[in-house]
Amino acid sequence: MEKRVAVLPGDGIGPEVTEAAVKILEVIARRFNHKFHIEYGAIGGNAIDKHNNPLPDETIALCENSDAVLLGAVGGPKWDNNPSALRPEKGLLAIRKHFDLFANLRPVKAVPSLLHASPLKEEVAMEVDMLIVRELTGGLYFGEPSHRTEKSAVDTLVYTREEIERIVEKAFEVARLRRGKVASVDKANVLETSKLWREVVEEKKKAYPDIEVEHMLVDSTAMKLITNPAAFDVIVTENMFGDILSDEASVITGSLGVLPSASLRSDGFGLYEPVHGSAPEIAGRGLANPAAAILSVAMMLNYSFGMKTEASAIEEAVNTVFEDGFFTADLAASGQRALSTQEWTAKVIDELDVQF
C-alpha cells in the first residue's frame, strides 16, 4: 500500500519521539512492502515562532493532502505567557476542530514488566485492557454561550442527537474488534444531555446485538476504575467526562509515558499522538521514552490504514523490549542502566527484524 503521512513534531521532546516513530514506520514499510510518503509540518510553539500562528495554513494544507497525521507534543514555558490566540494548545484544539476529529481513542493496557510503577496493587492492575472512547468536538468545551462577568460565569453543555450517534456507533464498532463490552458513561440522573445520550445508546444497540451494553454513572465509574479496572472493555462518554476519566485511567497501569492515542474522523482519517506532553525539562537530551509515539504509529496502521498485522508486530516488539528489561530513564529501576531514546528505539527495530 502507498500512504501519505504528515508528521508534526511540535515542541520539547516532540521532535525526538516522532523521529523514533518515523524510524519504526520505515522498518514497517521495508518489511511489508508499503510506501509511506512522509512530510513535515509546524504546529504549536515552533509554529508560533516561525509563522506567528500555532496552526499555519501550510500545515492544514499538508494534513489535508495526507492519509493520516502523526503528532509529537506541543507547549513549553517559552510560550506560557503568550496571549490566548498565540498559545501552542490552540494549535491542537484548532486541528481537532478543523478536521472534525470527534472520536478520541485511548487504550490503556497493563504491561506486566511496568506494573511495579502502578499506584494500584499489582493484582488489581494486572489484567487491565480497556479502551476509552471520548467525544472530542462537542459538549461543554465548545458550547455557546460561554462568557463571564464580574459576578458570574456561563458555560453551556449541548449535544445534538447526531453528535451522540456517531460517537456511540464508533464505540460499538471498536468493541466488535475487542471483547464486545461497552460501558456507556453519563450522568442521566441529573443532566438532560445525558438522558438524550442514554436514549441514543438504547436505539443504536439494536443494530449491535453481539455487543453487551451497560449504562453507568460517571461518579461510580470513577470509583470502579480504581477498585476493578480490569472489568472494563470499551468505555464511551462525552467530552468532559472522557477528559477526566481518561486521565484517571492513564495512571492506573503505571505507564503514562507509554500510552498512545488516536483522534478520528468518520472516514478513517486520523491524528495520532502520545498521551504525554512535551516534557520541556528533558527535551533534546535523549532521555525521552519514545514508546507512546511508536505505539501511536501502531494505532495509525490499525485504524487509518487497516494494517492489523503490521500494528500487532509493533506492539509485540515494544512489549518484548520491555519484557527483556530494557527501559528509558523514566522507567528504569534505580541502579539499572537506562537506554537513550535512540538506543531504545534501536532495540525495537532489532526486535521487528528478528520477528521475520
Binding site for NAD(+), by residue number, is 76-89
Residues 23 and 348 sit within 8 Å (Cβ to Cβ): no
Strand partners, 8: 71
Binding-site residue set: 76-89, 96, 106, 134, 219, 243, 247
Which does residue 76 bind out of Mg ion, ligand NAI, none, counting CB within 5 to 8 angstroms by kind? ligand NAI
Which of positions 80-109 make contact with ligand NAI (CB under 6 A)? 92
Per-residue binder mask for ligand NAI (CB under 6 A), 131-170, x = binder:
----------------------------------------
**277 interacts with ligand NAI by CB under 6 A:** yes
The residue sitting closest to Mg ion, measured at its beta carbon, is: 243
Cα atoms in the Cβ-side hemisphere of radius 13 Å centred on 275: 23
Alpha carbon distance 311, 68 (integer Å): 15
**9 interacts with ligand NAI by CB under 6 A:** no
Stretch binding ligand NAI (CB under 6 A), from 147-155, 189-197, 213-221, 280-288: 280-288
Q: Where are the alpha helices (DSSP H) in 236-276?
A: 239-251
* Strands in the chain per DSSP E: 2-10, 35-40, 68-73, 103-109, 129-135, 143-148, 153-156, 181-186, 212-217, 234-237, 260-264, 270-274
Which does residue 238 bind out of ligand NAI, Mg ion, none, counting CB within 5 to 8 angstroms by kind? none
Q: Which amino acid is at 13?
A: I
Which does residue 270 bind out of ligand NAI, Mg ion, none, counting CB within 5 to 8 angstroms by kind? none
Residues 6+ apart with CB under 8 A from 57: none
- Choice between 56 and 277, CB closer to Mg ion: 277
**243 interacts with Mg ion by CB under 5 A:** yes
- Choice between 56 and 257, CB closer to Mg ion: 257
**212 interacts with Mg ion by CB under 5 A:** no
Which cell numbers hold the place of 231? 472489568
Residue 141 appears among annotated catalytic residues: yes
Residue 350 appears among annotated catalytic residues: no
List the 103-109 sheet strands across, edge first: 35-40, 2-10, 68-73, 270-274, 260-264, 103-109, 129-135, 234-237, 181-186, 212-217
Label residue 32 exposed, middle or buried (CB < 10 Å: 0-12, 13-18, 19+).
middle
Closest CA to 283 of 36, 68, 27, 9: 9
Stretch binding Mg ion (CB under 5 A), from 124-132, 241-249, 278-286, 329-337: 241-249
Least Å distance between CB 267 and Mg ion? 26
**282 interacts with ligand NAI by CB under 6 A:** yes
Residues 111 and 258 sit within 8 Å (Cβ to Cβ): yes
Residue 186 appears among annotated catalytic residues: no
**260 interacts with ligand NAI by CB under 6 A:** no
**24 interacts with ligand NAI by CB under 6 A:** no
Which of positions 30-49 make contact with ligand NAI (CB under 6 A)? none
Peptide bond into 290 cis (omega under 30): no
Of 49, 219, 324, 353, the catalytic one is 219
Least Å distance between CB 94 and ligand NAI? 13
Which cell numbers hold the place of 301? 496502521
Per-residue binder mask for Mg ion (CB under 5 A), 247-266, x = binder:
x-------------------
Give the residue numbers marked as catalytic.
141, 187, 219, 243, 247
Binding footprint of Mg ion on the chain (CB under 5 A): 243, 247
Binding footprint of ligand NAI on the chain (CB under 6 A): 13, 17, 73-76, 92, 257, 273, 276-282, 288-289, 292, 330
